[in-house]
Amino acid sequence: MEISTITNTGYVKVPFEILKNLGLTNGSKVSFIKDGDKIIFKKIDKEIVDEDKKRMLDDLKAAYEEKLATEHNVDEYGISDEDREVVRLVKEIRAELWEKRYAHND
């Protein structure tokens, strides 16, 4: 049995032997699963992470294509040029705010 201490920022040092036995290195992904009063620390395989990323990208692409299809049919809903300009300006401002807030969070 190995013992570790949780820091005031919530970090836990995983003992080297456990890292070595699981094949974990810097940047490895792990999950924490609560099981009653226990926590299960589990290695996540890179293939699973890659599949999840691909699935999320596919979902985003489908949502974007659906949005584009809707935007091409706006005339059916009676949206004026002025309404479109407001939507364009809102998108532009949102993009600027997003960039200001998250530009340095790489």
User: CA 25, 31, 37: angle at the middle one, nearest 5?
Assistant: 125
Do 12 and 6 contact (CB within 8 A), yes or no? yes
- Can you give the pLDDT of all 106 residues of the chain as single tens digits? 888 999 999 999 999 999 999 899 988 888 888 999 999 888 887 777 777 788 888 888 888 877 776 666 555 666 677 777 888 899 899 888 888 877 665 5
> 70-84: buried (b, 16+ CB within 10 Å) or exposed (e) per residue?
eeeeeeeeeeeeeee
For 43, the 3-state DSSP assignment is: strand
Question: Position 92: which residue type?
Answer: E
Q: For residue 29, list its beta bridge partners.
A: 44
pTM over 0.75: no
Using a 10 angstrom Cβ sphere, with 0-12 exposed, 13-18 middle and 19 or more buried, the burial of residue 56 is exposed
